[in-house]
Amino acid sequence: MSKNMKKIFTFFLITLTGGVIHAQITLNGSVDMAIIPFQRIWNDGANEDRFFGAPEQHEVIMGAGAGRYGSGQGPRARIEVQASYEDKIGMRTRIQARTDGIGIEDFLQAWWQPVSWLRLDAGRFFRDNLRGKVNDLDERMNANTVRMFDADAIFSRFRTHRYGGQAGIMISLTPINNLFIGALLYDLKPFTASSSTTTDSSLYDAHPDYVTDNQDVWRRIQAAAAYEIPNIGLLRVQYLGVKPMVTISRISDEVLTDTNQLLYSYMFDTFSITASRIEAAFALTAVPGLTLDIGGKFPIQFKDWDRGTLNIFEKEDESLMDAIYQSYRRGFVWQAPYQASIGIKYTPSGLEPLELAGRVDAIFGGFIRGYANEVNLSPVINAHIWPSWGFSFARVILNAGFEYIGAAYDRNGQVIGTGTPAALNGGYRFGMGISIQKDFFNNSLIKGGIAYKFAGTVNGVREKAVLTIPLYLEFNFR
């Protein structure tokens, strides 16, 4: 796209009164691609017993691999259109084309700002003005190294489609200088075909019971406030509401001898808890060249909950699962894990080519307690560093990550699953790598490197060592 084509086009529309409206329309485009040309997985002892989902079988993988950030992303192209009139009303949409289809991506949004201190947004969108300021996923170059957390781990963005909904409505206020207040109703579902895959509008006319009435929309609210303390930093707090949900996965297997005689079998459940929470964060900006952001998440306990979409209840005999479902609900207190995160980026004065960056994320304190049962969920500590130096030809980035996973205990202090090959006794992961990034026009970049994940052990499973040579390209046309 030529430089002239990237400029903002101004259209003159004649109003009913004969006046002239100056409407600004901006067209942006981008193409990006994540590939892993080479990946080597060490599969020593390939015939050994496997638990927790069978590690990789192939020793060498050529091609797209897992993609950037482990998202499975291959090549994609995006076109984004924005239009506004005097910063009072506007719209934004982004269309994405991938190898698996074409559709609306993260934005299909309209907004209205009747006065300078009030704004209304509707549709599908993000608002990132309060989100965490240090995102270690920016430096991840291998989907098979050590798990990383994105900027939401410090402080969650406003997001209309958090758990699969289609749209949202948001109101934001700036009543005084440096103060921001926002409230979002998210995961709104205008219609859902509960017994058919068609989206023909006549279907909903004939079957109004297919239409979702969003009767629980009041649960799905995200409300936040932030205050910029001059010359010190940004303080923010928010409530993120959800309908309580528990996803239960059943771990089970049989241990056989070489002659197929049963030694013993085991079975136990693992839990993923979705709960409303309060978040708080502070980003320090007082020191020149330093970004320091600290955040915490405090989930709210609950008793009653809904079945998750991936629960064991959908995979087993329904009558049996109904009984198990009721036993899990009755009298149990569910506490999702707390989380604390800190991120830092620092460029020392006089050493502008150098940037020191890192993140530490800790998950802890989750539990399930009932009349006679108790599960204390596994704590996790995750740490990453990625210092870099900007040379004249490119930026060189070193990265290393370590993850410690604790054990899950019952009320007697015994490890869940003790005595089985799949005991939840925790473990560790460690990986490191180096990459080179070259930036060019319009924030485009090309990045490649090499990463290695050591063969750690998690929950009794010896994970595989993985060597990866990843490549990422991004071209932006503005």
pLDDT at 321 over 60: yes
Place of tokens 């009913």: 16
The four Cα atoms 110, 114, 120, 122 give a dihedral, to 10 degrees, of -20
More confident residue, 56 or 455: 455
Q: Which two tokens stand for residue 340?
A: 């604390």
Residue 34 CB partners (closer than 8 Å, separation 6+) = 64, 67, 68, 71, 73, 74, 470, 471, 472
- Measured distance CA(270)–CA(421) in Å, rounded: 15
Tell me what pLDDT residue 183 has: 98
DSSP for 286-339, written as a single string? -STTEEEEEEEEEEPPBS--EE-TT-GGGTS-HHHHHHHHHHHHTT-EEEPPEE
Q: Give residue 72's pLDDT band: very low, low, confident or very high (50, 70, 90).
A: very low
pLDDT at 335 over 90: yes
Q: Are 223 and 182 in contact (CB under 8 A)?
A: yes
Segment 278-284 shows an average pLDDT of 98
Q: Give residue 9's pLDDT band: very low, low, confident or very high (50, 70, 90).
A: very low
pLDDT at 247 over 90: no
Q: Which two tokens stand for residue 24?
A: 């600004």
- Measured distance CA(137)–CA(67) in Å, rounded: 13
Place of tokens 């939401």: 152
Segment 174-179 shows an average pLDDT of 96
Q: In what helix (H) or strand (E) does residue 63 lie, and over which residues does it extend?
A: strand 60-63
Tell me what pLDDT residue 69 has: 39
Closest of 167, 154, 179 to residue 107, by C-alpha: 167
Segment 446-461 shows an average pLDDT of 86
Encode pLDDT of 190-226 as tens digits.
654 443 344 455 555 665 555 556 767 888 899 999 9
Strand pairing of 306-307 and 245-256?
Answer: parallel
Q: Are 368 and 335 in contact (CB under 8 A)?
A: yes
Q: Which two tokens stand for residue 163?
A: 């758990």
Question: What average pLDDT does the chain have?
Answer: 81
DSSP for 24-51, written as a single string? EEEEEEEEEEEEEEEEEE--TTTTS---
Tell me what pLDDT residue 21 has: 57
Tell me what pLDDT residue 208 has: 56
Q: Which amino acid is at 227?
A: Y
CA distances, 66 to each of 39, 69, 142, 149, 471 (Å): 10, 8, 8, 17, 12
Segment 406-433 shows an average pLDDT of 87
pLDDT at 141 over 60: no
Q: Which two tokens stand for residue 25?
A: 């329309």
Segment 230-251 shows an average pLDDT of 91
Q: Which two tokens stand for residue 218?
A: 């009041």
Residue 239 CB partners (closer than 8 Å, separation 6+) = 221, 222, 223, 224, 276, 277, 278, 279
Q: Which amino acid is at 16?
A: L
pLDDT at 276 over 70: yes
pLDDT at 262 over 80: no
Domain segments of the chain: what residues?
4-477
User: What percent of the chain clears pLDDT 90, i.e. is strictly above it?
Assistant: 44
- Measured distance CA(416)–CA(143) in Å, rounded: 29
Encode pLDDT of 91-116 as tens digits.
999 999 887 788 888 899 999 999 99
DSSP for 404-457, written as a single string? EE---EETTSPBTTTTSTT----EEEEEEEEEEEEEEGGGEEEEEEEEEE---E
Encode pLDDT of 17-38 as tens digits.
344 556 788 999 998 887 777 7
- Measured distance CA(40)–CA(302) in Å, rounded: 45
Segment 316-342 shows an average pLDDT of 86
Q: How wide is the angle at C-alpha 476 spanned by C-alphas 442 and 122, nearest 5°?
A: 110
Tell me what pLDDT residue 455 has: 84
Tell me what pLDDT residue 54 has: 39
Q: Give residue 171's pLDDT band: very low, low, confident or very high (50, 70, 90).
A: very high
Segment 51-76 shows an average pLDDT of 48
Tell me what pLDDT residue 367 has: 95
- Measured distance CA(165)–CA(225) in Å, rounded: 24
Q: Give residue 327's pLDDT band: very low, low, confident or very high (50, 70, 90).
A: confident
pLDDT at 376 over 90: yes
Encode pLDDT of 291-315 as tens digits.
999 999 999 999 988 876 667 776 6
CATH, range 4-477: 2.40.170
